[in-house]
Amino acid sequence: MTDAESPVISHNSVRGAFSAGRMFVVGDIHGCLDELEARLVFLGFDKGRDKLFALGDLVDRGPKSAEVFALLDEPWFESIRGNHEELLIEAEGGNCDMHVCNGGAWFAFLEPEERKRLADKAKALPVAMLVTTPSGRRIGLVHADMPGSDWDEFIDRLDTPQVRDYAMWTRERVYHALHNRHLEPIRGVDHVYFGHTPLKAPVRAANMSWIDTCCFATGNLTVEELL
């Protein structure tokens, strides 16, 4: 694979090219490692060739948060930051009540050194990611939502706290999609994937998809191939 053909990960996260293989995106895992592994086996995922991009919320609520978080050390796994990673960071800084109330008790029981190590890894996760597939499609990954309808303008503003919070917490677009209201396509990308909002099934509108199917409660983890 030449440089021009290599998948590109942009905005704060670059781990380079990988062997030619398939690319997938997964919704909020929330500590559901067994369901993830089962889904990857079903899809014939090859950890030596394929790549999996997660939409954040790797941790909390499910039984294996630490084990899912450890996947960040695997070369086949990438993730953006979700609001639960943000809660983890705030908990390590002393504001732990909100994290515990949202499934983060596992983190409170860790040794201080381990909490700091995990918080540092969470801080290193990008809030948004752009993936260029081998076919040349530009795929945006954002945990919750994005202001405006232009990808490049969104990225230019992502260093501001308000835009970062919007990207990790807001649910405006998905509510429009759920009520069949018109949504403008997001310019500058071919498609954007979001998680964050628990759904019975993936929702699609314009050039957007929401794929958090609430695995910790339903056992249904959505993984889609990026073509």
Q: Which of these, 208, 227, 203, lies nearest to 149 by C-alpha position? A: 208
Q: How far is the C-alpha of 61 from the C-alpha of 14, rounded, in Å?
A: 29
Alpha-carbon torsion, ordered 63, 167, 203, 87, to 10 deg: 20
Give the active site residue among 84, 99, 143, 196. 84
Burial of 42 (0-12, 13-18, 19+ CB in 10 A): exposed
Spatial distance between the Cα atoms of 124 and 147, rounded to a whole number of angstroms: 22
Q: At what angle do helices 83-92 and 112-123 cross, to 10 degrees?
A: 140
CB distance 125 to 79 below 8 Å: yes
Cα–Cα distances in Å, from 193 out to 27, 41, 61, 139?
9, 22, 22, 8
Task: Indicate if 84 belongs to the active site.
Answer: yes
Q: Give catalytic residue positions.
A: 84
